């Protein structure tokens, strides 16, 4: 529960139509400073891990291949996702700064959902890369040229911007005449839409279309690509070849699970567990936003020999200098 002083602050501020009020960890406001320690550690791991991946891929000529170029896109997306939520989360936990202007909230909403959709799109592109590498290895270099990868990257950016912009404009035109108190320490569409006191059918139908086109379609296409990969693998001659091919896909499979399991969890929680404890919603949302940026560098560093060698080489160079 909030302290009486905090409650009066919320009550007074919610009458101001130009601000939303963020919420930290419900019921644990008194120990926000202690809670900030694991959050700060996770953000640091994410920033350092993804920056290291990007540096290794940029400095190692042997890693200028399609698979690692897609991995660099994933690391950039994870960095973007981390830096989008970090300011509001840490200033709330450290300084109890709970106000966020409408403009800043909508900007955070745009980048947060944009990078989230981008992560899904990059993982889909990486599944196509794995399909070509395993099912059509002789044509790999001719299919995934630098020009094609550049076009895929541009298509991913355009897809995500065009997906998020309409939902932003549809939401911004509506009146927020209820409480401006959000249930998270950042601005999520699922959270903001509950504060609207107008007809939201258009927003709901557009959100449903986005769920079908990205959150449902992308995993289905990834599953399809792996079905084709498995079919190709089990047509190979030896178990050693099969295990080698599966091992090459393991990092990507883990990255897919790290993104989609929390994403489905937070969507199901918002849709079917509206009356659950606020703590449940906050924990699910934080896992959804922090798990991929933190886990992906660890997964690829642990499971990809070339990345491990690149990190070792980078550290050795720095020690020498």
What is the per-residue pLDDT for 161? 95
Q: How confident is the model at residue 188, as a pLDDT?
A: 87
**H-type helices in the chain, by residue range?**
4-14, 32-59, 66-95, 102-135, 140-143, 146-172, 189-192, 201-210, 217-233, 239-272, 278-303, 305-320
194: nearest Cα among 208, 174, 166, 215: 174
Task: Report the predicted TM-score, pTM, of the whole model to 2 decimal places.
Answer: 0.89
Asked if 192 contacts 182 with a C-beta cutoff of 8 angstroms, the reply is yes
Q: How much is the pLDDT for 5?
A: 41
The rounded radius of gyration (Å) of the Cα atoms in the chain is: 22
Sorted by sequence, the CB contacts under 8 Å of residue 34 that are 6+ apart come out as none
Q: Strand, helix or coil at 20? A: strand
Residues listed for the chain? 321
Q: Write down the pLDDT at residue 12.
A: 40
pLDDT value of residue 318: 61
Question: pLDDT tens, position by position, for the chain (321 residues)?
Answer: 444 444 444 444 444 557 899 998 888 888 999 999 999 999 999 999 999 999 999 999 889 999 999 999 999 999 999 999 999 999 999 999 999 999 999 999 999 999 999 999 999 999 999 999 999 989 999 999 999 999 999 999 999 999 999 999 999 888 887 678 998 899 988 889 888 888 899 998 998 898 888 888 999 999 999 999 988 888 876 787 778 888 888 999 999 999 998 888 877 776 776 677 778 888 888 888 899 999 999 999 888 888 988 888 888 776 555
- The per-residue pLDDT for 7 is 42
Write a three-state SS string for 283-302. Answer: HHHHHHHHHHHHHHHHHHHH
Taking a C-beta distance cutoff of 8 angstroms, is the pair 182, 191 a contact? yes
Q: Is residue 186 exposed (0-12), middle (13-18) or buried (19+ Cβ within 10 Å)?
A: buried
Quote the CA–CA distance of 13 and 152 in Å, as a whole number. 45
Give the C-alpha separation, 211 to 129, whole Å. Answer: 24
Q: Which of 254, 203, 201 has its CA nearest to residue 226? A: 254
């Amino acid at each position: 529960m909030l302290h009486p002083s905090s409650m009066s602050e919320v009550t007074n501020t919610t009458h101001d139509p130009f601000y939303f009020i963020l919420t930290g960890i419900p019921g644990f406001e008194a120990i926000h400073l202690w809670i900030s320690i694991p959050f700060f550690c996770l953000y640091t791991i994410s920033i350092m891990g993804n920056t290291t991946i990007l540096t290794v891929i940029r400095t190692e000529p042997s890693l200028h291949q399609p698979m690692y170029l897609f991995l660099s896109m994933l690391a950039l997306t994870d960095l973007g996702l981390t830096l989008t939520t970090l300011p509001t989360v840490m200033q709330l936990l450290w300084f109890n700064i709970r106000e966020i202007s409408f403009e800043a909230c909508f900007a955070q909403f745009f980048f947060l959902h944009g990078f989230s959709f981008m992560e899904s799109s990059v993982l889909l592109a990486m599944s196509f890369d794995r399909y070509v590498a395993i099912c059509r290895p002789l044509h790999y270099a001719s299919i995934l040229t630098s020009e094609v990868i550049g076009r895929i990257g541009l298509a991913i950016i355009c897809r995500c911007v065009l997906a998020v912009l309409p939902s932003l404009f549809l939401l911004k035109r509506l009146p927020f005449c209820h409480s401006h108190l959000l249930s998270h320490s950042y601005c999520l569409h699922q959270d903001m839409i509950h504060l609207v006191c107008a007809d939201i059918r258009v927003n709901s139908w557009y959100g449903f279309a986005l769920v079908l086109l990205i959150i449902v379609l992308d995993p289905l296409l990834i599953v399809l690509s792996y079905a084709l990969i498995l079919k190709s693998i089990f047509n190979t001659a030896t178990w050693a070849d099969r295990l080698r091919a599966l091992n090459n896909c393991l990092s990507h499979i883990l990255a897919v699970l790290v993104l989609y399991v929390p994403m489905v969890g937070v969507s199901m929680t918002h849709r079917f567990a509206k009356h659950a404890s606020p703590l449940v919603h906050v924990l699910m949302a934080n896992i959804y936003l922090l798990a991929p940026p933190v886990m992906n560098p660890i997964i690829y560093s642990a499971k990809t020999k070339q990345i491990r060698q690149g990190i070792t080489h980078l550290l050795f160079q720095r020690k020498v200098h």
